[in-house]
Structure 1
């Protein structure tokens, strides 16, 4: 899930997403779905900054102006991409507990952000309003139904989990691109007198996992997630 600004492009895109015209698509013709899929693939490979209408047209083998018959501008395109990229949210069986459901929901978001790191870059202001991202929000709220929390408390809880996952994923993606000697670099400059808490974390090896292997990084993510879920459980009680 992400947040985005509300310019003319995104507003028109939301209208299209919520009320599609239902016109049959030509199997081999240029369609909005083909354009969005190609844009997602391009952003996955090279980042959102590399996405342009000209480059997208080149990838699709068409003229740039042909894209504008289906997409008004890049802002509208990004709205379509944000709705499509996450895919459907996880479904929970009747026997699963709410803690397991929330954890599975968070794990699903973690995977979305790692499959599509550009989604993290697309954040701006205002809550998501497209059907794709709202389906994830709906699933998160449903997972919390057995807690007995009020609707406002459930929404606050879901947003707490969402913001944790987004932040952890952003740090993890950045760590994957960082110098593996980051912890050693900090040890060169951080001293216990000036930054005692950071120095203690360094001494305990807490920063070593930030650029460690996948297993260590996922373990750190799960540890933080368990703390967030424990906080929700305390509120529910």
Structure 2
């Protein structure tokens, strides 16, 4: 997420991160002609994050990737945290245009959630960047605008609309983060995700079979073959997302119905 206006250094009252993201910061004309561009620096950071994770991104590594000195980067970004903000905005991008045939608050909100998920799954490092403040960069606000507009016909109060967006975005982010954790952990150990889940089912079975009275619910789950099905589907299965987003939207529908009836 973008930084708030804390620590503002310019006359805008915004943080250096937001000044840069919105193109409001003036560059110093002093010094040699720069051989870098802000876009190149941000792209290099994204490439490192995509390959090795957000924790691998540092000013030194970005400079090395660009064949430049770390100090030369500070003509464009004031810190690694500022670079993170710019990387997030660039990788997220503006939301795609919502198709005209997607109508009604539920369909539009679901489309919005799926579009967010697609972006995050294509940039898994995004779910590893700490959320330190509300969204405020250009692309973040465009996504928020689209989400709020999706709820135009819901009849919800404006404050509730924002809470709905936070709920849906939180679910999407959690789904992608869990998928990323499972997939990365399994592959790091050289395991096929599907086989890893089947092995997990066998492990749970072995640990609970001698004490069925202690784990009756788990024994029923194993008996139903649910974990075996999860293993067959593998970590890439969309079942949990489909189930979850439908239940989240069901809950919001109750809120909308109660709001319209009040």
The bucket for the TM-score relative to the shorter chain is 0.7 to 0.9
Match of 2:170 in 1: 163
TM-score by length of 1: 0.84
Higher relative contact order (CA 8 A, sep 6+): 1
| 1:1-237 correspondence to structure 2 within 5 Å | 2=1, 8=7, 11-20=15-24, 29-97=35-103, 98-179=105-186, 180=196, 181-190=199-208, 192-208=212-228, 213=233, 217-237=237-257
| Alpha-carbon shift at residue 167 of structure 1 (Å) | 0.9
Contact 2:116-2:172 at 8 Å conserved across structures = yes
TM-score by length of 2: 0.77
Secondary structure, in 3 states, of the residue corresponding to 1:177? Answer: helix
In structure 2, do the counterparts of structure 1 residues 30 and 146 end up closer, same or farther at CA, with 3 Å as the change threshold?
A: same
Return 219-228 or 89-98, whichever deviates more.
Answer: 89-98
Return 12-21 or 135-144, whichever deviates more.
Answer: 12-21
In structure 2, do the counterparts of structure 1 residues 150 and 63 end up closer, same or farther at CA, with 3 Å as the change threshold?
A: same
1:98-140, Cα deviation, whole Å (9 max, x unpaired): 2222122111111222111111111233322222222112111
| Alpha-carbon shift at residue 8 of structure 1 (Å) | 4.5
Give the Cα–Cα distance (whole angstroms) in 2 for the partners of residues 162 and 7 of structure 1.
Answer: 25
1:40-82, Cα deviation, whole Å (9 max, x unpaired): 1110111011111111111111111111111111111101111
Give the Cα–Cα distance (whole angstroms) in 2 for the partners of residues 15 and 3 of structure 1.
Answer: 11
Aligned CA-pair RMSD:
2.8
Q: Which runs of 5+ in 1 are unaligned?
A: none
Contact 1:71-1:77 at 8 Å conserved across structures = yes
In structure 2, do the counterparts of structure 1 residues 8 and 225 end up closer, same or farther at CA, with 3 Å as the change threshold?
A: same
| Alpha-carbon shift at residue 182 of structure 1 (Å) | 3.2
Count of paired positions: 232
Return 126-135 or 77-86, whichever deviates more.
Answer: 126-135
Give the Cα–Cα distance (whole angstroms) in 2 for the partners of residues 178 and 200 of structure 1.
Answer: 28
Give the Cα–Cα distance (whole angstroms) in 2 for the partners of residues 178 and 204 of structure 1.
Answer: 27
Answer with 1 or 2: which has the greater Rg.
2
| Alpha-carbon shift at residue 36 of structure 1 (Å) | 0.5
In structure 2, do the counterparts of structure 1 residues 32 and 188 end up closer, same or farther at CA, with 3 Å as the change threshold?
A: farther
